[in-house]
Structure 1
Amino acid sequence: MQLSKKDTLERAKLACKNTLMETLQIEMIDFGEDFLIARMPVNSRVYQPDGVLHGGATAALAESVGSFASHIFIDTDKFFVRGIEISANHLKSVKEGFVYAKATFIHKGRTTQLLEIRVTDDADNLISICKLSTIALPKK
């Protein structure tokens, strides 16, 4: 049985309870056949000392949405997903509002996946571009 979009996003919200995603207030907000979008508020929780979005928080957002994208597109009864490498290029700073991370697949293999995550601000300016490699491992 395939879940509705609303039910899938609700399950994502529940999966984030008591995790880094909840701490950073990361929320999965939309997905389609080959993408997933999450958002994170930019506030003092995610600032670096000079009051702008910390690159580490951006990388955490990117890894969260990319790993979750891999997760929702595999058979989770048989496999679990782990991130194995992430790279991030930060292009612009943000002081307030939200940042949005859209993960799309570059490669969707049976074992390894490669995703591009574009992080944008409320005005759709490109803030960071990230690449994430994930691996699907069999559950024992």
Structure 2
Amino acid sequence: MTDSTDTPRTPHSPAAAQPAAPAEHTAPPVSEELRAHFAPLLRDSLVERCRMELLTLDAGGGTASMPVAGNTQPAGLLHGGATIALAETIASFAAILQAREVHGEGAQAVGTAVSALHHRSARAGTVLATCSPRHLGRQVASYLVDVHDEAGALLSTITVSTQLLPPR
């Protein structure tokens, strides 16, 4: 697409309309207490097999990383399913904390919907998922997760919705 001067529009040119970026959410680093609490739940899980690491976390989101190596599809690219699993993991952990804020200790969260748009892929390195809230309610929490490569290129945009469950 070009404008009247036949100058190509790029995502960074002022001629291309850009949506307003959401406010950045900065979650604290994952505490040793929280790591110890979640450790038994992660043994023999997809999180462990994909070598995902929770970096920052609170009810409003957080960050998690995952190596590309070992998480590729046959063509040698980062597997889209692994990317979605990383996004769902960070959003689900944030949702658990949201559930506990509104329903108390022992509350849980379960995923109800995931939607992914893959923009590009990665062949090596580590990817970073950054999760930010879209809705934090008493029954539902939804998050937007952007996954970037080490150079900062946006790989995927994923929305995750969860239902917040009181303790049983």
- TM-score of the two chains, using structure 1 as the length reference: 0.88
Q: Root-mean-square deviation (CA), in Å? A: 1.8
1:70 to 92, 95, 107: 95
Whole-angstrom distance in 2 between the partners of 1:23 and 1:83? 20
Corresponding position of 1:101: 129
Secondary structure of residue in 1 paired with 2:123: coil
Whole-angstrom distance in 2 between the partners of 1:33 and 1:78? 15
Corresponding position of 2:45: 19
Letter in structure 2 aligned against 1:53: L
2:116 to 65, 70, 88: 88
Return the structure number with greater relative CO, CA threshold 8 A, min gap 6: 1
- TM-score of the two chains, using structure 2 as the length reference: 0.74
Q: How big is the shift at 1:72?
A: 2.1
Larger Rg: 2
2:78 to 53, 72, 78: 53
Q: How big is the shift at 1:63?
A: 0.6
How many residue pairs get matched? 136
Structure 2 spans left out of the alignment, 5+ residues: 1-29
Q: Deviations for 1:39-81, whole angstroms, at most 9, x for unmatched residues? A: 00001x2111100001011011111111011112331624211
Asked whether 1:5 is paired with 2:31, we answer: yes
C-alpha change, 1:70 and 1:33, in structure 2 (3 Å) is closer
Corresponding position of 1:119: 147
Whole-angstrom distance in 1 between the partners of 2:97 and 2:41? 12
Structure 1 spans left out of the alignment, 5+ residues: none
Identity percentage of aligned residues? 32
The 8 Å contact of residues 143 and 160 in structure 2, kept in 1 or not, is answered as: yes
